[in-house]
């Protein structure tokens, strides 16, 4: 089994000095901070509390002359006293005149061929084609998750908490009871809110539908999904779950967030917030409908993703349609939308499809747990649970990964299924999720798209970040900035800010001329903004895009700020460019303005 590892070493960066800097280097330690004799580099070391700086390639005795000739003496490892956003720190050092380049100290792992199968002894496992497809149900061999191959590497870790927003979970099921999340700060049955989280006796989760502490299942739906994710494997009982552990070894922890039968906006929204506040980093959601869009639900999802730094996964409806609203909230850009496949890797008759789908997974004749027993179900609900189970294995193996890294690995490691779906090429996401490839596949550094901002001294700029940066701090994104302001449409006033979010618009003042590079995760192609009547600011996304999906006739005017001339210019036709913020005038209330063209698969860069 592979040990859990972070993508890079914490509190460390690697730098390569220029030849001149290396010659002038004079390493000392003053009050615990390393100094170099190079003024600008010493200032950085003080600001970021660098406590150690040593050569990457140690002095090599008889080989030292060769090392010096090849410049190996210019590579150094810097260690810092406090936790820092390592990738942002590397970019700051890379901008110093004494540094040729700087980077995180990336971690690598062994690539293993699937030369072993860890087959579960559960009696129903031979019928679980979705995990190990030998053609036993008449399907195509290997049209599966490669679960037995994956289990030789990882079977799940209790520290990985998966919230299941559904009809509840059978808390006493013999396959699930040992994997139920237990609130570590709560004493069961004493009638007190021991951990002061606002919920009394929330031992295994909460029933948000009836607002009580009993999230037991009443319908089988939630228990079925929970079993796919985390039923105990290789315990001689029933079925095998994807990340439920092995034999007597526990798997991931299941947090029961019961939202049905009264699954209204406010009920669901509170469940997302509870899950994030109490340690869940993955959210499984096999439900849909309601209004499209739903600002309350989207706000709660945004909170979950921001606070947990995790992933929210949704089944992609059950209407055999490409209409994003019929698949909502799966079509909400920040979440992972999951389509359903059969045992031939073909799209099922009930699954949605479209350029907003992210991945696909098995969804036909899927055996799993039910209240007190087992059953086989069809649907995008089991498909979603499969994707969540694979993500849970990834989180177990890589607990330090960000949500963006987990999502990227889940999607990039999927098996392409276009050949089995000639009528849906490019409409089923990156393919069928593959647990073994997700764990064993080469892990590349997170994709970073860089935008350059050229800023004149003393000029105001109306900017927008078209990527999700590693750091949100103004002083890290735009070193030397004297002010940044955000507009509030509600109060009709500006407020100074110290952090910047993607897709929003901000006024920025730089006293000194600068060329700044902003590196970050690519945004999805769509950004929704809820605009009240009157003037408001909106931001941009990754690509040049028109404004779409606003009520006809409600968008009256649009202006951009010309930083060079320091004046406003009208925009026609209505469209946005990356890095720019825009004033727009709306009449309707409430209005939803969607920015984006969908050129990059509708939900993101694939």
Indicate which residues carry an active-site annotation: 166, 221, 381
C-beta atoms surrounding 53 within 10 Å: 18
Cis amide bond preceding 62, omega within 30: no
Tokens standing for residue 569: 């210019």
Backbone angles phi, psi at 141, to 5 degrees: -55, 140
Residue 129 CB partners (closer than 8 Å, separation 6+)? 136, 137, 139, 143, 144, 343, 362, 365
Which residue is listed with tokens 């994003």? 324
Contact 441, 409 (CB under 8 A): yes
Q: Is 108 exposed, middle or buried (0-12, 13-18, 19+ CB in 10 A)?
A: exposed
d(CA 298, CA 334): 9
d(CA 380, CA 351): 6
Judged by phi (left if over 0) then psi (alpha if -120 to 50, else beta), residue 309 lies in left
For 357-429, strand residue ranges (E) read 359-362, 366-370, 373-377
Contact 501, 465 (CB under 8 A): yes
d(CA 472, CA 486): 14
CA proximity to 160, closest of 219, 230, 218: 230
Tokens standing for residue 184: 């570590």
């Amino acid at each position: 089994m592979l040990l859990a590892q972070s993508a890079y070493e914490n509190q460390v960066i690697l730098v390569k000095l220029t030849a001149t800097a290396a010659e002038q280097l004079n390493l000392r330690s003053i009050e615990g901070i390393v100094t170099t004799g190079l003024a600008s580099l010493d200032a950085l070391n003080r600001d970021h509390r660098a406590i150690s700086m040593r050569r990457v390639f140690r002095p090599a005795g008889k080989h030292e002359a060769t090392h010096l000739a090849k410049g190996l003496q210019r590579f150094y490892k810097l260690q810092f006293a406090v936790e820092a956003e390592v990738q942002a720190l590397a970019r700051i050092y890379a901008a110093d005149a004494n540094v040729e380049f700087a980077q995180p100290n990336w971690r690598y792992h062994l690539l293993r061929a699937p030369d072993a199968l860890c087959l579960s002894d559960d009696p129903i496992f031979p019928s679980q084609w979705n995990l190990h497809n030998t053609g036993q149900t008449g399907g195509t061999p290997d049209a599966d998750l490669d679960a037995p191959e994956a289990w030789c590497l990882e079977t799940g870790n209790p520290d990985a908490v998966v919230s299941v927003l559904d009809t509840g979970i059978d808390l006493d099921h013999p396959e699930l009871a040992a994997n139920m999340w237990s609130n570590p700060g709560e004493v069961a049955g004493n009638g007190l809110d021991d951990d002061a989280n606002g919920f009394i006796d929330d031992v295994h989760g909460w029933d948000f539908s009836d607002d009580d502490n009993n999230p037991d299942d009443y319908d089988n739906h939630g228990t079925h999904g929970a079993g796919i994710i985390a039923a105990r494997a290789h315990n001689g009982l029933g079925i095998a779950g994807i990340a439920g552990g092995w034999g007597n070894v526990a798997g991931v922890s299941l947090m029961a967030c019961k939202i049905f039968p009264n699954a209204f906006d406010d009920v669901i929204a509170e469940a997302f917030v509870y899950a994030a506040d109490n340690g869940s980093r993955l959210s499984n959601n096999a439900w849909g409908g309601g209004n499209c869009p739903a600002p309350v639900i989207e706000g709660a999802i945004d909170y979950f993703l921001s606070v947990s730094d995790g992933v929210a996964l949704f089944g992609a409806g059950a209407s055999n349609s490409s209409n994003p609203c019929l698949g909502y909230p799966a079509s909400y850009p920040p979440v992972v939308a999951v389509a359903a496949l059969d045992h031939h890797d073909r799209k099922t008759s009930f699954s949605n499809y479209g350029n907003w789908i992210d991945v696909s997974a098995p969804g036909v004749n899927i055996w799993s747990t039910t209240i007190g027993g087992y059953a086989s179900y069809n649907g995008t609900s089991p498909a979603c649970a499969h994707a969540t189970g694979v993500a849970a294995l990834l989180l177990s193996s890589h607990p330090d990964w960000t949500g963006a890294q987990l999502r990227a690995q889940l999607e990039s490691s999927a098996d392409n299924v276009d050949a089995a779906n000639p009528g849906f090429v490019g409409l089923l996401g990156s393919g069928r999720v593959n647990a073994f490839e997700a764990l064993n596949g080469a892990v590349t550094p997170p994709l970073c798209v860089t935008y350059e901002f050229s800023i004149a001294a003393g000029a105001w700029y109306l900017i927008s970040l078209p990527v999700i940066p590693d750091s949100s701090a103004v002083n890290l994104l735009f070193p030397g900035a004297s002010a940044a302001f955000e507009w509030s449409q509600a109060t009709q006033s500006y407020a100074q800010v110290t952090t910047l979010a993607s897709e929003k618009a901000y006024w920025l003042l730089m006293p000194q001329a600068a060329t700044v590079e902003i590196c970050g995760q690519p945004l999805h192609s769509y950004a929704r903004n809820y605009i009240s009547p009157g003037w408001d600011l909106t931001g941009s996304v990754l690509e040049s895009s028109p404004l779409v999906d606003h009520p006809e006739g409600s968008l009256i005017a649009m202006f951009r700020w010309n930083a060079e001339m320091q004046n406003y210019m009208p925009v026609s036709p209505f469209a946005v460019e990356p890095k720019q913020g825009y004033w727009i005038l709306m009449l309707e209330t409430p209005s939803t303005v969607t920015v984006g063209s969908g050129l990059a698969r509708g939900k993101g860069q694939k």
